[in-house]
């Protein structure tokens, strides 16, 4: 009654305000379809949406969106309004005053989906390329058969070549799933063969979705058969097979041990269950007998023993059926996926190679300082890892002082070098100098220093990991395709490793210090007679090795975490790198780093679930490797190698 009154008042108001609330073409159009719109039924709404969408009116998209957002409303006068966040607009997009309260039209989800589809064609023809791209992305996220038509329609008018290519590709993805004719679908699938993108794989895989059916033996079920399943083979266990039979009502359920126990407990009468004393039920045979007796009385479902399970399985056949009915389509999809898999495997190999390369760079960086102190000077420095840590913490402190990430990184590299160089020189002067020719004691003394430094860092910085943030330009990743990619930090570390290799070669082969170092290494007495101060050379060499460790620490800190134990994480690998590579040769260190890094990645790939085990296996492989090349990959031979 009240509604009627409001209508009447509305009509009256419409007559009165005809000048203010303009009756435009969209309002007219909506009024023509008002009955359908107000009925708001999934089955009948299509013509109304179609009418708006194809009207060619500029406001069509806005109206459809408002409708979808439940913002299309009718006022008391029966006129349509767009009730957004602010003041309501009339369908022509002009501000005006509605009559009385607005009654919002609430389309159900089915209608909203239809509206979405209609909107997509607007988006796909939007003048703004970004909107068009966003529209394509939304289709990819949520592919629907209905989207195929608007997509195809939009392709003809596309001017942007990149978007055109994308549309074409998307059209293929949709066609192969929802296309009406089999040949077109197969063609679309075949066009994707060898495409390793995630979206291609994502589109192909659903085509091969299957379901499992159980039926009498010897009978082949209806449908596009994928495989015949044999219980007990290929991850299709007896238990799973029997469960399928039970689910299909083809076999009685099997009481579990727990159910049997509960059933027995529920049927205890005067200390006995079906005549068997409770105390004897710990014996599996007696327990079974008691339960069978209960089953015989009809109190519990009967037991199903192994033989019965076997018989039931033998009496039935199990098949896997494709959800997709067309065999031609599934065959094509299988072939395409196989081709893609081959390519993806190859690409994964490339990606693995990149990963291994970057890991090798890190090991090389960590080990190069060690190669100097251990390889060139023959000094075991177990505190080498702590120098790496000191470098990383130095960079962290610099970052606290200099807020600009790029500047702080540039400042941190020399700062880390200076700090660890000084620490290395101090350690050489105070400790190692006194322990030349006592390698095992050097090992132990430097280990003592390592313990002390680690604990000092723990006291100074706490056990929490400290962040060392890379500048933004190092934050991204270089992505070749959906399989192969590598982060910029890893590339930077690789470049840094190359620079160090060059620097080291230059230093050793082209500078006075390098010459003196080599001289002292080969014959300290002779070098001293030639006027070289072995003490000074040893000090500088050790400082240099430590300084390089400090810079490596900055790089590793950017890539991993900065903790007091980060050095300890790398020390064993670093030593292995030097030992495997061959002592006293920078190329050996490089080869060692490549081998350890590559090996670790390869083992991790072969056993992806378990990186701890991968490290174990890697160490075992290295121990075995030492059997065949006790002096490392690049070995000095003969009398020069010494014994």
- The full DSSP string for 157-170 is T---HHHHHHHHHH
Is the CB of residue 549 less than 8 Å from the CB of residue 384? yes
**Among 643, 633, 27, which Cα is nearest to 371's?**
633
Phi, psi of 478 (to 5 degrees): -95, 115
Q: Which residue pairs from 580-583 have beta carbons closer than 8 angstroms and sit at least 24 positions apart in sequence?
A: 580/622, 580/625, 580/626, 580/629, 580/632, 580/633, 581/367, 581/371, 581/632, 581/633, 581/634, 582/629, 582/631, 582/632, 582/633, 582/634, 582/635, 582/636, 583/374, 583/375, 583/378, 583/631, 583/632, 583/636
Span 242-271, contacts to other proteins by CB under 8 A: 257, 261, 264-265, 268
Q: Please select the residue that binds other proteins; options are 32, 70, 106, 458, rule is CB under 8 A.
A: 458
Span 382-411, contacts to other proteins by CB under 8 A: 382
Strands 224-229 and 72-74: unpaired
DSSP-derived 3-state class of residue 173? helix
Give the nearest distance from C-beta 632 to other proteins in angstroms: 10
Q: Which is nearer to other proteins, 172 or 287 (CB)?
A: 287
Q: Which residue has the tokens 């407990």?
A: 265
- The full DSSP string for 538-565 is HHHHHHHHHHHHHHHHHHHHHHS-B-TT
Q: Which is nearer to other proteins, 425 or 619 (CB)?
A: 619
Give the nearest distance from C-beta 578 to other proteins in angstroms: 9
d(CA 126, CA 141): 19
> Is 606 a residue that touches other proteins (CB under 8 A)?
no
Residue 365, exposed/middle/buried by CB under 10 A (0-12, 13-18, 19+)? buried
C-alpha distances out from residue 142 to 73, 209, 289, 358, Å: 28, 17, 58, 37
Which tokens hold the place of 281? 């039920």
> Is 601 a residue that touches other proteins (CB under 8 A)?
no
Strands 276-277 and 224-229: unpaired
**Among 492, 498, 464, 491, which Cα is nearest to 406's?**
492
> Is 449 a residue that touches other proteins (CB under 8 A)?
yes
- x/- map, 569-598, other proteins, by CB under 8 A: --xx--xx--x-------------------
- Scanning 45-53, 203-211, 314-322, 616-624 for contacts with other proteins by CB under 8 A, the matching segment is 616-624
Q: Which is nearer to other proteins, 157 or 525 (CB)?
A: 525
Give the nearest distance from C-beta 431 to other proteins in angstroms: 6
Is the CB of residue 151 less than 8 Å from the CB of residue 96? no
C-alpha distances out from residue 8 to 19, 28, 428, Å: 19, 19, 101
Give the nearest distance from C-beta 556 to other proteins in angstroms: 18
Is the CB of residue 320 less than 8 Å from the CB of residue 305? no
d(CA 223, CA 397): 68
Give the nearest distance from C-beta 171 to other proteins in angstroms: 47
Q: Which is nearer to other proteins, 99 or 386 (CB)?
A: 386
Q: Please select the residue that binds other proteins; options are 51, 240, 411, 435, rule is CB under 8 A.
A: 435
Q: Which is nearer to other proteins, 322 or 374 (CB)?
A: 374
> Is 156 a residue that touches other proteins (CB under 8 A)?
no
Span 510-539, contacts to other proteins by CB under 8 A: 524-525, 528, 534
Q: Please select the residue that binds other proteins; options are 68, 117, 450, 585, rule is CB under 8 A.
A: 450
- x/- map, 51-90, other proteins, by CB under 8 A: ----------------------------------------
Give the nearest distance from C-beta 434 to other proteins in angstroms: 6
Give the nearest distance from C-beta 302 to other proteins in angstroms: 19
Give the nearest distance from C-beta 549 to other proteins in angstroms: 17
Number of chain positions touching other proteins (CB under 8 A): 68
Q: Which is nearer to other proteins, 449 or 595 (CB)?
A: 449
> Is 372 a residue that touches other proteins (CB under 8 A)?
no
- Scanning 89-97, 121-129, 283-291, 389-397 for contacts with other proteins by CB under 8 A, the matching segment is 283-291
Chain residues binding other proteins by CB under 8 A are 257, 261, 264-265, 268, 273, 278-284, 287, 380, 382, 431, 434-435, 437-441, 443-445, 447-456, 458-459, 524-525, 528, 534, 568, 571-572, 575-576, 579, 610, 612-613, 615-616, 619-620, 622-624, 626-627, 630, 636-640, 643
């Amino acid at each position: 009654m009240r509604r009627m009154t409001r209508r009447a008042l509305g009509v009256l108001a419409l007559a009165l305000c005809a000048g203010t609330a303009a009756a435009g073409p969209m309002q007219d159009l909506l009024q023509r379809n008002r009955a359908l719109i107000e009925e708001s039924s999934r089955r009948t709404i299509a013509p109304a949406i179609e009418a708006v969408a194809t009207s060619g009116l500029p406001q069509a998209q806005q109206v459809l969106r408002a409708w979808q957002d439940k913002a299309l409303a009718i006022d008391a006068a029966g006129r349509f309004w767009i009730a957004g966040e602010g003041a309501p607009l009339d369908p022509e997009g002009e501000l005006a005053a509605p009559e009385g309260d607005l009654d919002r039209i609430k389309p159900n989800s089915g209608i909203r989906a239809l509206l979405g589809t209609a909107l997509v064609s607007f988006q796909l023809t939007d003048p703004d390329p970004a909107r068009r791209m966003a529209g394509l992305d939304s289709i990819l996220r949520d592919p629907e058969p209905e989207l195929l038509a608007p997509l195809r329609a939009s392709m003809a008018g596309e001017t942007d070549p990149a978007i055109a290519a994308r549309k074409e590709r998307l059209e293929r993805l949709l066609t192969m799933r929802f296309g009406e004719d089999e040949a077109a679908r197969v063609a679309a699938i075949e066009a994707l063969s060898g495409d390793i993108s995630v979206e291609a794989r994502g589109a192909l895989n659903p085509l091969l979705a299957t379901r499992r059916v159980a039926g009498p033996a010897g009978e082949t079920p209806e449908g596009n058969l994928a495989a015949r399943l044999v219980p007990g083979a290929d991850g299709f266990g007896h238990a799973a097979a029997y469960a399928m039979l039970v689910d299909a009502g083809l076999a009685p359920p099997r009481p579990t041990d727990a159910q049997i126990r509960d059933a027995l407990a529920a049927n205890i009468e005067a200390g006995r269950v079906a005549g068997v004393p409770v105390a004897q039920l710990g014996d599996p045979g007696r327990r079974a007998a008691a339960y069978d007796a209960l089953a015989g009385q009809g109190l519990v479902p009967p037991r199903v023993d192994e033989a019965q399970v076997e018989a039931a399985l033998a009496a039935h056949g199990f098949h896997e059926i494709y959800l997709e009915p067309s065999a031609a389509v599934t065959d094509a999809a299988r072939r395409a996926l196989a081709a893609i898999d081959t390519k993806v495997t190859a690409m994964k190999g490339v990606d693995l190679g990149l990963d291994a390369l970057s890991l090798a760079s890190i090991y090389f960086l960590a080990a190069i300082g060690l190669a100097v102190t251990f390889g060139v000077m023959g000094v075991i420095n177990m505190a080498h890892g702590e120098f790496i840590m000191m470098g990383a913490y130095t960079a962290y402190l610099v970052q606290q002082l200099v807020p600009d990430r790029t500047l702080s990184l540039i400042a941190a590299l020399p700062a880390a070098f200076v700090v660890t160089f000084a620490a290395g020189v101090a350690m050489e002067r105070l400790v190692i100098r006194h322990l030349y020719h006592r390698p095992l004691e050097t090992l132990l003394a430097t280990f003592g220093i390592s313990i002390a430094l680690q604990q000092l860092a723990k006291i100074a910085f706490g056990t929490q990991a400290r962040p060392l943030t890379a500048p933004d330009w190092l934050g991204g990743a270089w992505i070749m395709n959906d399989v192969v990619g590598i982060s910029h930090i890893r590339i930077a570390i690789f470049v840094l490793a190359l620079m160090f290799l060059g620097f080291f070669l230059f230093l050793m082969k082209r500078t006075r210090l390098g010459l003196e170092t080599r001289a002292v290494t080969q014959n300290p007495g002779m070098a001293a007679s030639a006027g070289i101060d072995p003490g000074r050379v040893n000090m500088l060499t050790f400082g240099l090795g430590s300084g390089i460790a400090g810079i490596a620490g900055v790089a590793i800190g950017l890539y991993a975490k900065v903790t007091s134990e980060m050095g300890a994480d790398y020390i064993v690998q670093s030593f292995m790198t030097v030992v495997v590579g061959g002592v006293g040769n920078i190329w050996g260190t490089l080869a060692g780093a490549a081998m350890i890094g590559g090996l670790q990645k390869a083992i991790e790939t072969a056993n992806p679930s378990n990186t701890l085990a991968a490290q174990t296996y890697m160490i075992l492989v290295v121990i075995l490797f030492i059997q065949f090349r006790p002096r490392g990959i690049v070995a000095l031979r003969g009398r020069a190698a010494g014994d």
